[in-house]
């Protein structure tokens, strides 16, 4: 899956690229840096849906495809370089093919995540994160890792300190 890297544009850390309710959704190819997508639930709590380090594609595939409003926010956790993929009026055969591949890769990621969330303890979830995003554990604040795992920052801190003890 190749993109024209010369057309990438810079976004500063903290920039919000997509908000809940937005339509005409783009997708974002991360050339450099780090994006994330997240929701804010009915109780006002933030839940990270996915991280987007280099080479990942971030966006709401589903809402973009059906041209409905999204529930997901997207913002930049680091100064980044991204390529914006415009929403298509007309889907070409070529687009369907590359889109299929992207969508299926996403299904795989989500499938693992669902199975993980249904069966894993907090400690196992942390292991899962370390495998899924090996280079992120010291790039993102722990409260965000916790949010991604569906646990509190305190619980994550506990896990890490027990783990540190266990290897002494």
Partner DNA sequence: TGCATTAATTAACCTAGGTGAATGCACAGG
Partner DNA sequence: CCTGTGCATTCACCTAGGTTAATTAATGCA
Report d(CA 28, CA 56) in Å as an integer: 8
Comparison of 31 and 120: residue with beta carbon closer to a second copy:
120
Residue 113, classified by CB atoms within 10 Å of its CB into exposed (0-12), middle (13-18) or buried (19+), is middle
Report d(CA 148, CA 143) in Å as an integer: 9
From candidates 95, 107, 152, 163, binder to DNA by CB under 7 A? 152
Comparison of 109 and 121: residue with beta carbon closer to DNA:
121
Binding segment for a second copy (CB under 8 A), chosen from 14-22, 78-86, 109-117, 135-143, is 109-117
Comparison of 25 and 76: residue with beta carbon closer to DNA:
76
Comparison of 8 and 127: residue with beta carbon closer to a second copy:
127
User: Is residue 52 classed as helix, strand or coil in its secondary structure?
Assistant: strand
From candidates 55, 68, 141, 163, binder to DNA by CB under 7 A? 141
Comparison of 46 and 162: residue with beta carbon closer to a second copy:
46
Answer whether 73's CB lies under 8 Å from 62's CB.
no
From candidates 7, 12, 23, 142, binder to DNA by CB under 7 A? 142
Report d(CA 78, CA 66) in Å as an integer: 30
> Which residues from 102-121 bind DNA, rule CB under 7 A?
121
Is residue 123 a contact residue for a second copy (CB under 8 A)? no
Kind and range of the H or E run holding 32 = strand 27-32
158 binds, among a second copy, DNA, none (CB under 5 to 8 A by kind): DNA
Contact positions toward a second copy, by CB under 8 A? 39, 41, 43, 45, 47, 49, 60-62, 65-66, 71, 91, 93, 96-97, 99-101, 103-108, 110-111, 113-115, 117-119, 150
């Amino acid at each position: 899956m190749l993109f024209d890297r010369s057309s990438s544009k810079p976004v500063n850390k903290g920039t919000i690229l997509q908000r809940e309710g937005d339509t005409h959704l783009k997708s974002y190819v991360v050339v450099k840096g780090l994006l994330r997508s997240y929701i804010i639930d009915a109780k006002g709590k933030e839940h990270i849906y996915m991280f987007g380090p280099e080479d990942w594609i971030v966006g709401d595939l589903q809402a973009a495809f059906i041209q409905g409003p999204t529930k997901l926010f997207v913002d930049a956790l680091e100064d980044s370089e991204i390529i914006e993929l415009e929403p298509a009026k007309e889907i070409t055969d070529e687009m369907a093919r590359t889109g299929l591949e992207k969508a299926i890769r996403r299904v795989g990621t989500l499938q693992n995540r669902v199975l993980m969330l249904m069966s894993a303890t907090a400690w196992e979830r942390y292991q899962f994160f370390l495998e899924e995003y090996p280079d992120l554990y010291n790039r993102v604040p722990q409260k965000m890792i916790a949010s991604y795992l569906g646990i509190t920052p305190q619980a994550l801190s506990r896990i890490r300190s027990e783990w540190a003890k266990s290897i002494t």
